[in-house]
Amino acid sequence: MPADEYTLDHLDAMIDAFDKVGFEPVVKAGHADGQEVAKEARKVFGAPSLGNVERVYRRGDVLFADLTNIPRNLLI
């Protein structure tokens, strides 16, 4: 499956919308179904969340995120 293509306008819209969602989004391990259910996520990952997204921003044409609350065993 080809990767999605995003323009700088798309990235800027994501950044602008981030502070308006009203919550701190969680970090998931990919997009597999079932991660939204804490019990199922614990079976695979040991926790319902692998951290939180604190901020999104871009450098040039690349979107970045600052993550918090990452479990110690996942830190490199």
pLDDT single digits (tens) 8-59: 999 999 999 998 988 888 887 766 665 566 666 666 655 667 888 999 999 9
The model's pTM is: 0.67
- Better-scored residue on pLDDT, 1 or 55: 55
Q: CA 5, 2, 8: angle at the middle one, nearest 5?
A: 10
Beta-bridge mates of residue 68? 52
Name residue, tokens 């009203």.
22
